[in-house]
Amino acid sequence: PQTPVIRNYESARSGFETVDRRQFDTIDMRRQWSINHNYEEQLEHDLDTTLETSTEVWGEVDNEDSFDDESAEEYQVEEDFHEEKRDHFSKESNQYRKVLRDDNGAPSSSRSRPDSLASGPFAEGGRSIGSSKGSWDLETSEEGIDDDNSVDGVDADDSIRTGSATPGSQQLTSRLRDTFRSTLRDATKISRVKEMVRYVQRRPRSAIEKREYRESSYFQGQQHDRRRSVQVEWGHLPPPPSGATENDIKRRRILQSLVQSEKAYINSLGILEHDYRQQLLRQPVVEKSYVDRIFGKVTPIYSLHKLFEIALDSAIMDWDVTQRVGDIFTGTFDKQTVLEHYSAYINALPETLKLVQKLCARRTFFDFSTKQQETQGDNLNLFGLMLKPVQRFPQFLLILQDLLKSTPFEHPDRVALEGALTSLDKLTEQLDYRREIQEQRQLFFKLAKLSKTEWQEGENGRVLKCGPATEVLELSGKDGELVELRDGILILTDKGKLLFLLNPKKQSSSKAAKESEIEGCKLKWRCDVKDIHIADFSEDNLSKKLGSRDGIQSDIETLSEIEALVGKLSSNLETRPLTQEINSIKERVEKSLNLVGSSVQTTITIQKNENIRHEPWLKKYVRLSSGINAREWTDAIRAVRIRLVNDRTMPFTPWETPQDDSPTTGADRVMPVYIGSVRPRNDQTNCDLEYSQFCSYASPEYDGSIYVWQANDDFVEISHIKKEDDIVTEHNRLRGRGFDPFIHSIQAKTSISSIMHAYNAIWIFLMDGDVMAMQDCSPFRRFGLTKELTDDQVVQATVHGENGFLITTKSGIVAYAVINHEDQRDLTLVLETLVLDQGSPVRLIPILSKDETWAWRSGKVKAVKNGHITDEFACRELGSVPLSASISKGTGVWVARGDLPILYLYHAHTKQLLQTFDLSHSAFTVKKSHTFGVSHLTTMANFLVAGTTSGIVIVLPLPKLAVSNPSIVGPAHASAIGHLGRVASLNSIVPSIISSSDSGLDNVTASGSKKNVHSQATLLFSIGQGLKKPREEENKEVICISVWRSGS
């Protein structure tokens, strides 16, 4: 370790070599540089602290004869420690000499330094002034310095140094040399000063006196000042260059805020480590075991960020040369040890805070904590300090996102910053997941105590969802009351139990949602999710009895008008009884409005299945805060039900992960849940996927259903997957969704080459170059026909621009087609051919983040935007083989070949290859060693999904932050349920539903408006030949559709 003096000198020396000379064009800028960084004051303050501390520590020696045996033994240990410090300081003295020279003996001033730094912040003649502890005269005599500590050798080379340096460099070097030569003289005297102080300064004569001395305000103040001086590092950026852009200046400000926040964070960790942990270990305030439980997990985090601080200071010194900081984050935090240290601290924090609160009841600990709080600068108590590590990574993410916004794509640090965001996002997700799992298990343990008859003692489980709810209890009509409202907590467990806890404290719903409030609740009712189904409350008889909210509000407005008319009657009439009667009716109507619920609340009906007759109740009404909340609860209940059915009916693991891929390498996410496989046609016997085209999409009628179009030769068939329900049987249907294999067919005049869904229509491209536009919902009528669009068959089409397509033909021609809107009932396409050479097929890749499309052929790419080629570049890593699959997400582009099991990730802006990933390791867990390639790619939420030529579907996790680098951040999962042949199509669909009433299940918006559209659970469709697991379809010629649902 280095003393503050040496460390600051090394930082200054490094800074002098890397600073751009253009930053110091004027005397004013040089003066500002000196004022901003206060080199002189910092140097003298650190030197003062070093020498005084040395005198204080080494001088605590008195008559050893007065010690008892214990004190003598302790003194001997300290003497050994002091001896080691003397040797260490001697080594530091040698370092002072070395910094004045190069390693080969050449003068250090011969190194190139900017002349403008000649006015550096060092006083003339090596004399330091303005020290925080008074002025020192460093021009002391050399008398008494030992020969081995002599610095005459340094003075002997003055003529050599001054002769070989420029005038400005000579002046600066002279000042540096004089200052540190004088410092060296004083430093070498410490060895003799120590010997004199040993017999003069009074030493505590016993262990008690020693402890009192260390607890004194003088000693504590010295320790605090020394620690504060050690923590102050070179953390300031020089003034920006004269030609700096607005983004450059903004980046400097953001980086400066990052440095300041990091040093403040390290200072807080240092307070926990030094002012609390180490002091508590020295003083008999609390037991040592308590100290270790509270502060033991802070030490590794503190050490980690001290190393990060060193790397950050180095980046600050080189900022004007490299302007890179992203690699520092990746190198520091993209490690498993960081996750383990922070996870251990965060998971233990709730119990740690409870222990601190318990210890505060002790007077000694409370006084100690109060004293430490008053000593530190920010006056933050122990609870606030211990929350700092929880907040640090979210702060990092916010700062780096701001920095990324001001970093152009061509900047050398752009890719590194995206990688840093990816690493921190993955780390934060892993910490959140581990903490969430722990909280769910702790909550289940508390729940098990409330309902001991429901679970066995010691049974493990998790609470998947917990939140406030209101039970609408139907009454028998006594006293004219129809319903009664009861506030409580609704809970869903991984065991498939749905419970309602009654809150006897009559607290607000938001407060009742806290986990700690469960202990005061009572179990009201419970049920198994497999025995219930969820219905729309608006269709229930009770809802009709309560009336609609619109009708009740209309009645209130009518009563108000009647009341106003009564007030206008003649004064000689007695209107008081009439007014009282109107107010009485109005109060009853307003009470009915409260029972109906607010405009944003949604009530669902939980009803037992018809075959469940032994239960004491058959129907419950639960009111939730919003339609979105109601939909989340519905999706979670149905997901748990499907998973439990799969666990019972499928005796195998649905997703396989290689054993050597530890789950700690990435965030453990909830995998999609398999809901079944269906066949589009019952009479399919000879259907070749080579000549089949598929298109699937959510219903435009917003009823939660899915349409699947299959084109084979010249014939199109349409299948319909119905909206989600609570039926989980799999006979000719999916779990939770009905299936109609045939609802409509279309006959084309010739074979179909491609099919796609865009602009609220289905576009069917024929072999002869014609294009058909069809309605995308019932009755599926034809919009129009474009004849002879191309001379060659279209093999791929993508949406491009506002009302157009990019199409590529079999011969490799790329063309831009625009929709003609002259007649909405007779859509046509106007074609503009782009200049591209004919040859091998072209793969079109839409880049949504740049609003452009890549036309990829044989490793050569042309970027097309608004129908024009804007850029050309090459991606040589894949060779000249045509692409078989591609998908873009954020700033990343994933591509693959049909003959290799490797995925390639390119940056959409820099065109740089960022990552390659081999799928064979994961695929071999499902099917032993075999040869395969990638046939299709898609994304599902934060997953990358790959379909292979061997029929295996593989899911890979991607970062959650949109601005991060879309690289793979966890282990791959291969589905045990797949196809016997090639995966021909992969598609991720989010079904949408539309609300029909303001009190129904599907109400979403806070405004209470009708017909609000919102999304259901995401579905993943895989279409391929045959099926393996859970039932075998031996015939490879049979086309099967396998469907997964996003988990809960």
**DSSP calls for 104-145:** TS-BGGGS---GGGGG-S--GGG-B-S-TT--B------TT-
Closest among 641, 211, 247 to 410, alpha carbons compared: 247
Class at the top of the CATH hierarchy for domain 462-552+598-648: mainly beta
pLDDT-derived band of residue 661, with 50, 70 and 90 as boundaries?
Answer: low
pLDDT at position 713: 86
The pTM assigned to this predicted structure is 0.73
pLDDT-derived band of residue 616, with 50, 70 and 90 as boundaries?
Answer: low
CA dist list (Å): 816 to 153, 757, 857, 867, 884: 80, 17, 17, 6, 22
Please give the average per-residue pLDDT across 150-157, as a whole number.
39
Burial of 105 (0-12, 13-18, 19+ CB in 10 A): exposed
Please give the average per-residue pLDDT across 875-901, as a whole number.
90
Instruction: State how far the Cα of 905 lies from the Cα of 894, in Å rounded to an integer.
Output: 5
Is 197 a residue whose pLDDT tops 50?
no
pLDDT digits (tens, 9 = 90+) for 385-444: 999 999 999 999 999 999 999 999 889 999 899 999 999 998 998 899 889 999 999 888
pLDDT-derived band of residue 651, with 50, 70 and 90 as boundaries?
Answer: confident
Q: Is the peptide bond before 1030 cis (omega within 30 degrees of 0)?
A: yes
Contact assessment for residue 1026 and residue 951, using Cβ atoms and an 8 Å cutoff = yes
Instruction: State how far the Cα of 591 lies from the Cα of 614, in Å rounded to an integer.
Output: 35
- Highest mean pLDDT pick, 172-186, 350-364, 959-973: 350-364
Please give the average per-residue pLDDT across 799-804, as a whole number.
85
* 506 or 120, which is more confident: 506
Please give the average per-residue pLDDT across 232-247, as a whole number.
71
Closest among 346, 336, 261 to 297, alpha carbons compared: 346
Q: Across all residues in the chain, what is the average pLDDT?
A: 75
Is 151 a residue whose pLDDT tops 60?
no
Q: Which positions ≥6 away from 381 have C-beta within 8 Å?
A: 369, 373
Runs of H (alpha helix) within 603-728:
627-649
Torsion of CA 820, 821, 825, 830, to 10 degrees: 0
Contact assessment for residue 728 and residue 641, using Cβ atoms and an 8 Å cutoff = yes
- What are the DSSP calls for 636-691, one per residue? HHHHHHHHHHHHHH--S-SEE--TTS-GGGS--PPPPEEEEEE-S-TT-SS--GGG
pLDDT at position 532: 87
pLDDT at position 132: 33
Structure token digits, residue 754 = 């491609």
pLDDT at position 989: 94
> Amino acid identity of 64?
E
* Matching residue, tokens 């070395």: 98
Structure token digits, residue 101 = 């020279």
Q: Which helix (H) or strand (E) holds 829?
A: strand 828-833
- Highest mean pLDDT pick, 155-159, 218-222, 270-274: 270-274
Please give the average per-residue pLDDT across 531-556, as a whole number.
79
pLDDT digits (tens, 9 = 90+) for 597-609: 776 778 888 888 7
Structure token digits, residue 177 = 């040399």
* CATH assignment, 237-453: 1.20.900.10
Is 24 a residue whose pLDDT tops 70?
no
Is 1027 a residue whose pLDDT tops 60?
yes
Instruction: State how far the Cα of 922 lies from the Cα of 402, in Å rounded to an integer.
Output: 37
What share of the chain in percent tops pLDDT 90? Answer: 26
Is 26 a residue whose pLDDT tops 50?
no
- Highest mean pLDDT pick, 39-43, 69-73, 319-323, 943-947: 943-947
Please, where in the chain does CATH 1.20.900.10 lie? 237-453
Specify whether the backbone of 710 is left (phi greater than 0), alpha (psi in -120 to 50) or beta: beta
Closest among 849, 845, 968 to 916, alpha carbons compared: 968
Burial of 457 (0-12, 13-18, 19+ CB in 10 A): exposed
pLDDT-derived band of residue 867, with 50, 70 and 90 as boundaries?
Answer: confident
Is 1001 a residue whose pLDDT tops 50?
no
Burial 190-202 (b: 16+ CB within 10 A, else e): bbeebeebeeeee
Radius of gyration of the chain from Cα atoms? 38
pLDDT digits (tens, 9 = 90+) for 113-139: 333 333 333 333 333 333 333 333 333
Q: Which positions ≥6 away from 465 have C-beta within 8 Å?
A: 490, 491, 492, 632, 633, 636, 1048
* Matching residue, tokens 């589009």: 680
Please give the average per-residue pLDDT across 663-670, as a whole number.
66
Q: Which of 568-576's residues contact partners 24+ apart within 8 Å by CB, and which partners?
A: none
Please, where in the chain does CATH 2.30.29.30 lie? 462-552+598-648
Q: Are strands 1039-1045 and 715-724 parallel, antiparallel or unpaired?
A: unpaired
Closest among 56, 38, 62, 45 to 4, alpha carbons compared: 45
Residues, the chain, total?
1048
Structure token digits, residue 203 = 């030493």
Is 452 a residue whose pLDDT tops 50?
yes
Please give the average per-residue pLDDT across 693-700, as a whole number.
92
Please give the average per-residue pLDDT across 698-703, as a whole number.
90
pLDDT at position 345: 94
Is 916 a residue whose pLDDT tops 90?
yes
Specify whether the backbone of 793 is left (phi greater than 0), alpha (psi in -120 to 50) or beta: beta
pLDDT-derived band of residue 614, with 50, 70 and 90 as boundaries?
Answer: low
What share of the chain in percent tops pLDDT 70? Answer: 68
Closest among 764, 767, 812 to 788, alpha carbons compared: 767
